[in-house]
A and B are shown apart, each in its own frame.
Chain A
């Protein structure tokens, strides 16, 4: 066992940090205050990501054919860690880089690849992910949005909800039912739908997590050519299972949490309020939670880096990551409550708003527990 970094990994991290140091404005925490889906951060990303691409740091892990450098699993991961810790200056584009691009490379038609991948690799594409519906959240297979075949077109009717980035996205990675009843996994197809197609109506949902992050998206007789379909009809479930397998470990949230926690302690020290045992132990507890989450995430990444099949390592890591986010957010709320009013502490606010969704977005904490109970502990199902 070895828990250090190779020279190459260290050099790569240094490159990413140098770039961030050069390119992020001093007040980036303010821009990032409202989250990756906000107008501010999306607009920033459209300026930032092309520069990142030029520096070879947008898609370094992609194959050279598509603008990458065939970078390693760890390089891809280090990039994500540094970006998230910095407040995610790539905005919504982290999704393209992590899984939408690679999914299109693997399953897309030549036309789809040529159309969609170059703009992603250039840092100029905003996508949204149209999975969840009012009646299909954790139980995603219950989705009802229909895509009916009409000659060489599909006609889409239905609605999506909680869709991040939809207000500013160019394209939607949409799951729709081409056959079967809600619950039937084999009747779902993936459609790549330009968001300016007539019949799409996007409404932002006022929420606790900043401006314009989540939306409802209504589809009324939306016509897309059959060529917008990714993979076969009915193949969606296996495709997204494959593509999201690499995403299961989720966002390296502990890295922003640790940074936010360090900032909170700095603030408490400046106020002369970091002397009591109670506050110090609580800070230590939050820090230990971040480090435990980090180790479990690294273990999952290491499994992948060694080319082994990921079991429940990622789900176990997610549970720890969610707890670490909560521990840091609660520490801030308990000891620095005033920093959650006004504009002076954007990082605490941004961290809090990211932390409160950690256990819900991308698969609820309880779903992770469910998977660990079933597949890791092999506990039996109910009667």
Chain B
């Protein structure tokens, strides 16, 4: 049992932290008040330096990939990291990225489709991938802090990927779970900074115990989720995978509620980045069956059928 990263992972994380602290990771509210920034410069730096390929490196592995997803999701900018560093890197490294992942019907609004160069489709019959030619995607307006779009129905040249749908789904579960823990942590840091700063009734908001205790509970849930995710990334044990995603999706609902409460009206504006995290979380918590589906799956895997 060792919670410390190994030497290579430590280096990976410290270089990553430097990049994440650079100007390229800053968020800007765009003139048209878009709900996300894609941070292409940072994305390019991560890609060029091989960060998205960690899963294929023996001494880095899925643990580093998952840590990358978590760290990237802490940022207020939106990066397509989860698919690239998990499914793409493991099964389709030659496809151009960004990558969108569809794990159900093909006609639903899906994150990253408008900017994706390729798409991975996880269906019960198999996992496949295709390039996305010009015109293959119709962008859609959305409340979520991702570029959202729908496949326009043009014929795609699907290629089967050498991975079972079950294995791909479990990897995707952990990628999503890591994105959730990261977004929760990023939002927590922003909310914390706000409530330490903002004074009402002659004292910082963060000095009120009702707020302190809820934030402390949120810390326990976020950190518990983080370590469940790390544990599951070690070997993709099916029970651990379902526990990790079910737990963080379940926790996210109440935590997002707390964060928006504590930010007051400021958190409703597009001037403060809270929405950048909360409107990623509000999509992610429904992924792959959502909390109910994944906790049910955990029951299935731990105790079998009725």
Contacts and interface: CB of A to CB of B under 8 A. Distances in A.
Interface of A: 1-5, 9, 74, 262, 265, 269, 272, 274-275, 277, 280-285, 287-289, 291-293, 295-296, 298-299, 301-303, 305-306, 316, 319-320, 323, 366, 368-370, 372-374, 376-383
B217 interface: yes
B192 interface: yes
Contacts of B203: 380, 382-383
A372 B6 CA distance: 27
Contact of A298 (B1, B206, B296): B1
Contact of B206 (A274, A379, A383): A379
A287 B299 contact: yes
B300 interface: yes
Given A285-B250, A295-B228, A277 B296 contact: yes
Interface in B104-160: none
Nearest to A262: B303
B292 interface: yes
A74 B1 contact: yes
B212 A370 contact: yes
B228 A281 contact: no
B207 A1 contact: no
Contact of B219 (A2, A288, A305, A316): A316
Given A292-B227, A299-B227, A316-B223, A283 B213 contact: no
Given A285-B295, A377-B215, 11 more contacts: A288-B246, A288-B295, A291-B240, A291-B247, A295-B227, A296-B223, A299-B3, A302-B1, A302-B4, A378-B196, A379-B212
18 contacts: A1-B2, A2-B1, A74-B1, A269-B303, A272-B306, A274-B306, A281-B296, A288-B250, A291-B228, A292-B224, A295-B228, A305-B1, A319-B220, A370-B209, A372-B219, A373-B216, A377-B216, A379-B195
Contact of A306 (B4, B212, B292): B4
Interface string B49-83: 00000000000000100000000000000000000
B1 A373 contact: no
Contact of B234 (A2, A366, A377): A2
Contacts of B204: 379-380
Nearest to B295: A284
Question: Which interface class (under 10, 10 to 19, 20 to 34, 35 or more) fits B?
Answer: 35 or more
Contact of A281 (B9, B295, B302): B295
B215 A284 contact: no
A269 B250 CA distance: 25
B297 to A, nearest CB: 7
A337 to B, nearest CB: 20
B1 A5 contact: yes
A292 B303 contact: no
B224 A320 contact: yes
Interface of B: 1-6, 9, 63, 192, 195-196, 202-204, 206-209, 211-213, 215-217, 219-221, 223-225, 227-228, 230-231, 234, 240, 242-243, 246-247, 250, 292, 294-300, 302-303, 306
Contacts of A366: 213
Nearest to A289: B247
Given A291-B247, A380-B206, A373 B306 contact: no
A282 B291 CA distance: 11
B192 to A, nearest CB: 6
A316 B296 contact: no
Contact of B296 (A280, A369, A381): A280
Question: B6, B211, B240, B243: which has the most chain A beta carbons within 10 Å?
Answer: B243
Chain A to chain B: the 4 pairs with minimum beta-carbon distance, closest first: A292-B224, A284-B295, A373-B212, A275-B306
A299 B219 CA distance: 14
A173 B112 CA distance: 63
A280 B247 CA distance: 14
Nearest to B213: A369
B290 to A, nearest CB: 10
Residue among A280, A303, A305 having the largest count of chain B Cβ atoms under 10 Å: A280
A380 B202 CA distance: 13
